[in-house]
Amino acid sequence: MSTSLLYHAFGIRGYDYQRTSYEEGTVVFTIRQKRSELRCSECGTREVQRRGHVTRELQHVPIGGKPVFVELDVARVHCPKCDHIRQVQVPLADSQRSYTRAFARYVLELRQSMTLTDVAHHLGVSDWMVRDIEKRMLQRKFSRPKLRHLKQIAIDEISIGKGHRYVTVVLDLDSGAIVHVGDGKGGDALKPFWRRLKASRARIEAVATDMSPAYIQAVIENLSNAALVFDRFHVVKLFNDRLSDFRRQLYREAADGLAKDVLKGTRWLLLMNPENLNEERNEKKRLELALSLNQPLATAYYLKEDLRQFWQQPSRTAALQFLKDWCSRARASGIRFLQKFANTLEGHRSGLLAWYAYPISTGPLEGVNNKIKTLKRQAYGFRDQDYFRLKLYALHKTKHALVG
């Protein structure tokens, strides 16, 4: 092996090749830094005097299945200008790291198609080393997402584990990137984001969120000029939850067994869109039978289906008229949960109608949530929360698939 091969094959420059040794199944290249390359690590002057050395062994890119290490003497030099004795910099490795930069790049390439544990097993290193390499890269690229370009954002909470563990996520709807991850849910989780947003001088045009009072108050206080858009998904979900509770109430109040048998097992039939009902399983007939035997349930169901038309009106004026008519019919039904839901919609009218100026929603966050689930399955959970947070910031640049 020659110094030229050391440069062209391994990318190591400024060093002379000394020897190769084979120790317990590993390959060790011993190299020596050229005298002309010695310089002060602080001021960069070459006018230095050697004052001993420290031997370092760095893990390098493997050859075949053999681990490779690079052994070198890191010189300690005295700098007349600084009047200090320091170790010279090692250009092929970062300080306080036991691997070369080429090895770190190789690990990151493997992480694109392998799990963290698989990469560690393949290279014969610890999980901690692989995680440290990836975490340093993520900190360098994603630790401080830029906010200056933000125009339209979505805010929602996402469950990250058992025991009601949540994080509040702010998503850039233009790029699909997560720009903030706050601990817990509610307005307090967004306080660091508001401080950074104010410093960035970004001009937010619209914010999509659910009808949570905490999020509404936070947006009004910090983005008074932005349009607040209530998410279609959460509005429909809220109605479906109320409809499910109403079905359970009717089931408990049913006097005869036939009514109970008809209502039993119809929850998903009530929540599904009519076009998705499976005729081969007689789902449509079962739903029609349940509605024919229970007039209040039929009224609630048809109002649910009619509510979907709110987001399909030709204009904001038509949508306003539709909303008024729907709320009037809900109040006239005499069904308590429909009357309360009509009041809820009336109280959030401006946010609902804002959709016609900014047709945005938190729907993309559902895709983010699915990616997070895959991410957690790959890693079997995350103990390092800082690492997990950085992985979320990089989620829009990552393609996740279960491996194995």
CA angle 267, 269, 272 (to 5 degrees): 110
pTM above 0.75, yes or no: yes
CA angle 366, 369, 372 (to 5 degrees): 160
**pLDDT, tens digit (0-9, with 9 covering 90-100), for 289-300:** 677 768 888 898
Cβ atoms 253, 280 nearer than 8 A: no
The three-state secondary structure class of 371 is helix
CATH 3.30.420.10 fits domain 152-231+361-397:
yes
Nearest of 348, 399, 398, 403 to residue 380 by alpha carbon: 403
Q: How far is CA 146 from CA 142, 149, 182, 397, in A?
A: 9, 7, 16, 15
Per-residue pLDDT of the chain (404 residues; tens, 9 = 90+): 567 777 777 778 778 888 889 988 899 989 888 877 787 777 878 777 787 788 889 999 998 888 999 998 888 888 888 877 887 778 888 888 899 999 999 999 998 888 888 899 999 999 899 999 999 999 999 988 999 999 999 998 888 766 567 889 999 999 889 999 998 888 899 999 999 999 999 999 999 998 889 999 999 999 999 999 998 888 988 999 998 888 888 878 776 665 666 667 676 667 777 766 676 676 777 777 677 768 888 898 899 989 999 999 999 999 999 999 999 999 999 999 999 999 999 999 999 999 999 999 888 887 777 777 777 766 545 677 888 888 888 888 776 554 44
Report the distance separating Cα 132 and Cα 97, nearest Å: 10
Report the distance separating Cα 37 and Cα 53, nearest Å: 15
Cβ atoms 362, 209 nearer than 8 A: yes
Q: CA torsion 370→374→376→377, rounded to 10°? A: 140
Cβ atoms 51, 92 nearer than 8 A: no
Q: Where are the domains of the chain?
A: 1-92, 152-231+361-397, 232-356
Report the distance separating Cα 214 and Cα 232, nearest Å: 18
Nearest of 160, 155, 163 to residue 186 by alpha carbon: 155
Torsional sign, CA 99, 137, 7, 67: positive
Q: Which pLDDT does position 32 carry in this prediction?
A: 86
Q: Which pLDDT does position 342 carry in this prediction?
A: 95
Q: How far apart are the first and last CA of the chain?
A: 38
